[in-house]
């Protein structure tokens, strides 16, 4: 596995691969890798000849009072795991490499509509930061495929919309959420939870599953389902940020005529913000 930090070196290797006729799959990450990330790499290996993984904690997508400085950085372990999976390149640029002129004057990419509300409403500027850094990484890696986890469902839809709107020749692949035995979605932020808190956190997936089952059975009282779910989360000790039933693709509030739904949820457990979702297809 090559470990590359500079843009010039990355572009040189990408150019050589292209000249050799190789296809490329890409997995952008912020590090602190777990099985959820590794499942993206495993999927990427089935799609293309070469796999590139980036590790970059992107300051542009962190808002005020968010955990940029305390975000866990485990580069040595991350590289070891990626090497064991047969990753071809791990790209680990510095902030200065990605944003040489700082953030204040950096051009940005905005994806209206699908980026609004939910996590976009709770974290102002978050998806602008995501879309901007992913666009820059796409320009550097020039992949044929890029893999993103379905746990960050709104992010996945933002990236799909951006790629479509900007005519990028990249196929975006959503990879199913990896879960703990309890059903808790794997996340870097789970490391902040005690074992007792993890026992409470599993209720989020339980409530999502109950709501999805109701939708699957034909229940269409969306407001009632959402309010009942929030109440159950609160009773378990979670503080709901949102619990919403939406159209699977547009993320607009669900309508009676819809056939494809996604149930989206975010909740606080102490200072830790958990997100999860379940897709429902009738």
Residues tagged active-site: 37
In this structure, are strands 2-4 and 89-91 parallel, antiparallel, or unpaired?
parallel
Has 126 been labeled as part of a binding site? no
d(CA 37, CA 128): 22
32 marked as binding residue: yes
Closest CA to 160 of 136, 134, 142, 141: 134
| Residue 37 annotated as binding site | yes
188 is in an annotated binding site: yes
Q: How far apart are CA 170 and CA 245, in angstroms?
A: 29
20 is in an annotated binding site: no
Closest CA to 26 of 122, 157, 135: 135
Q: Any binding-site annotation on 21?
A: no
Question: Do the annotations mark residue 139 as ligand-binding?
Answer: no
Tell whether 30 is in a known binding site.
yes
Secondary structure of residue 121 in the 3-state scheme: helix
Contacts of 213 (CB under 8 A, 6+ apart): none
Cite the annotated binding site by residue number. 30-37, 61, 149-152, 155, 186-189
Cite the annotated binding site for (R)-pantoate by residue number. 61, 155
Cite the annotated binding site for ATP by residue number. 30-37, 149-152, 186-189
């Amino acid at each position: 596995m090559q470990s590359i930090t500079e843009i010039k070196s990355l572009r040189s290797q990408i150019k050589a691969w292209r000249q050799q006729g190789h296809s490329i799959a890409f997995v952008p990450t912020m590090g602190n890798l777990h099985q959820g990330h590794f499942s993206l790499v495993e999927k990427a290996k089935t799609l293309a000849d070469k796999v590139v993984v980036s590790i970059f904690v992107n300051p542009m997508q962190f808002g005020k009072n968010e955990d940029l400085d305390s975000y866990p950085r485990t580069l040595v372990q991350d590289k070891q795991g990626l090497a064991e999976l047969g990753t071809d390149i791990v790209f680990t640029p510095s902030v200065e490499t990605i944003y040489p002129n700082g953030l204040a004057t950096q051009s940005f990419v905005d994806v209206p509509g699908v980026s609004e509300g939910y996590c976009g409403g709770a974290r102002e500027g978050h998806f602008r930061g995501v879309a901007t850094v992913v666009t820059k990484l796409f320009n550097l890696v020039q992949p044929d495929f890029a893999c993103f986890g379905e746990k960050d469902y709104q992010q996945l839809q933002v990236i799909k919309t951006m790629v479509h709107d900007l005519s990028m020749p990249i196929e975006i692949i959503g990879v199913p959420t990896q879960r703990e035995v309890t059903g808790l979605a794997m996340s870097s932020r789970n490391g902040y939870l005690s074992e007792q808190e993890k026992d409470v956190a599993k209720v989020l997936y339980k409530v999502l599953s109950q709501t999805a089952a109701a939708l699957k059975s034909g229940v269409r009282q969306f407001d009632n389902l959402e309010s009942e779910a929030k109440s159950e989360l609160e009773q378990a000790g979670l503080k709901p940020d949102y619990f919403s039933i939406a159209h699977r693709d547009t993320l607009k509030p669900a309508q009676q005529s819809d056939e494809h739904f996604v149930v989206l949820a975010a909740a606080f457990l102490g200072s830790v913000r958990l997100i999860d979702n379940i897709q429902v297809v009738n």
